[in-house]
Amino acid sequence: MSLASAYTVLAPFYDRVVSGATRPLRQASLAHLPAAPADVLLVGVGTGLDLPHLPAAHRYTGVDFNAAMLARSRPRASGLDFVAVRGDAMKLPFADACFDCAVLHLIVAVVPDGRAVLQEAARVLRPGGQALLLDKFLRRGRPAPLRRLLSPLAARVATRLDVVLEDALDGLPFGVVSDDAAAFGGWFRQVRLLRT
């Protein structure tokens, strides 16, 4: 089953499975949005689970490749300056340096090439902009045999479990501001990056 097919099938159930488990993690990450009004990109906006936690001060663009997921995001954007765009996180349909902040929640480990997503985020961010990441990242040098064993199966359904963030970031114009274990014994990490 392709990623597009999997997420079309999962769209009606996604919120029930993911929403409750990730709500506090999303809120903690989004607390780091800029204070002043900014242009914020939500990469892999999905069904819009981040939208209810966003302050109204910013201009938001949500991008997702899956029409079924994107359609579910629009009603959650009530009261926000929000535009939904169908597009590929690995090849964003935006000009260089047009956003102040990029939110990458549960997307880098989902797509086939997480490094390409981070590379694109760096491209569309203005210098000094930040990227807020929340995902299932391994730490460099950690063996994690169970995660590595389960990753090929999990990747066929929804997500990879063996993405080493440090490897994906290697050579990209980002500095790490913070990197914290977020949940499930460190399976999830909350990371803030600064575009240099």
Average pLDDT over residues 35-46: 97
Average pLDDT over residues 69-83: 95
Q: What is each CA distance from 129 to 27, 32, 41, 136, in whole angstroms?
A: 19, 12, 11, 23
Dihedral sign computed on CA atoms, order 15, 103, 105, 30: negative
The answer to whether domain 3-195 has CATH 3.90.1300.10 is no
Ramachandran assignment for 186, one of left (phi > 0), alpha (psi -120 to 50 degrees), beta (any other): left
Sorted by sequence, the CB contacts under 8 Å of residue 116 that are 6+ apart come out as: 90, 91
Is the pLDDT confidence value at 145 over 70?
no
**What integer pLDDT is reported at residue 4 of this predicted model?**
55
**What integer pLDDT is reported at residue 148 of this predicted model?**
56
Q: Give the domain ranges of the chain.
A: 3-195
Query: In this structure, what are the phi and psi dihedrals at residue 191, rounded to the nearest 5 degrees?
Result: -130, 135
The token pair at 120 is: 């694109």
The token pair at 31 is: 């607390």
* Strands (DSSP E) found in the chain: 39-43, 59-64, 81-86, 99-105, 125-135, 137-138, 163-164, 174-183, 188-195
pLDDT confidence band for 100 (50 / 70 / 90): very high
